[in-house]
Amino acid sequence: MAPPKIVILTGAGISRESGLHTFRDPDGIWARHRIEDVATPEAFARTPALVQGFYNARRAQLRDPAIRPNAAHEALAELDARWPGELLLVTQNVDDLHDRAGSRRLIHMHGELAKARCLRCEGVSPAPGDLTPASTCPDCDAAGSLRPHVVWFGEMPLEMERIGQALEGCDLFVSIGTSGAVYPAAGFVREVRHRADTLELNLEPSEGSHLFDEARHGPATQLVPAFVR
């Protein structure tokens, strides 16, 4: 019999114990910044330097040697390496901790902090240390055309077709460290729950906890290795 097909969704909670803040916890990013100021296309059009500064600071934090993949990222990379069947890790996180841990079958549906996108040619390139409203695209040389390669509210998340196909065929859906507050990711469990097993691993019950067959609550560095091994 073929091994079960697995889709795993992760959110900011999986990177919390690596030292990165979540969004909606009391000490989270949205407690210090207004979404309308930093995470919409309108904010970027209005005050590009402010938005670039917000992402420059988070990019700099990611380069801090103290910020490293934790036991949860490592366990998922281990699962990816040894799982003989279909597996897709879909992360909402823009950090690169899954990549650094070694996960390969990975989609960053909300983009990547370490990359920039050109508004002119749409090329995606490594972000320079600091992006400014004057930064030049390395692909088309257009000046002032680079934006953070992240998905803001009102924008279409990335690779939705591939994610949709994986969800359609999956036998097990696991959601880790996400509040279930942001769509379309928050809706994945509803898409699969009538034909796949569903499991939530989160510090506390999420908004959609009741939709899962099983929910285990605690820190990701304990729950995820225990699930994988």
**Numbered residues of the known binding site:** 55, 58, 92-95, 118, 121, 137, 140, 177-179, 202-204, 220
Instruction: Pick from 7, 13, 103, 208 the residue near ligand BJW by CB under 6 A.
Output: 13
Question: Please, which residue, 39 or 199, has the CB nearer to ligand BJW?
Answer: 39
| H or E segment to which residue 197 belongs | strand 197-202
Contact between 175 and ligand BJW per CB under 6 A: no
Tokens of 90: 């879909």
Burial environment of residue 222 by CB neighbours within 10 A (0 to 12, 13 to 18, 19 or more): middle
Contact between 161 and ligand BJW per CB under 6 A: no
Are the beta carbons of 12 and 178 closer than 8 angstroms?
Answer: yes
Smallest gap from Cβ 24 to ligand BJW, in A, equals: 4
Contact between 181 and ligand BJW per CB under 6 A: yes
Instruction: Pick from 42, 155, 159, 213 the residue near ligand BJW by CB under 6 A.
Output: 155
Residues 6+ apart with CB under 8 A from 26: none
Task: List the catalytic residues.
Answer: 110
Amino acid letter for position 134: A
Q: Which of residues 69-98 bind ligand BJW (CB under 6 A)?
A: 92, 94
Q: What residues form the annotated binding site for NAD(+)? A: 92-95, 177-179, 202-204, 220
| H or E segment to which residue 7 belongs | strand 6-10
Residues 6+ apart with CB under 8 A from 136: 142, 143, 144, 145, 146
User: Which residue is it, tokens 């097990």?
Assistant: 172
Q: Which of residues 25-64 bind ligand BJW (CB under 6 A)?
A: 25, 28, 39
Binding stretches for ligand BJW (CB under 6 A): 11-13, 16-17, 22-25, 28, 39, 92, 94, 110, 150-157, 160, 177-179, 181-184, 202-204, 206, 219-220
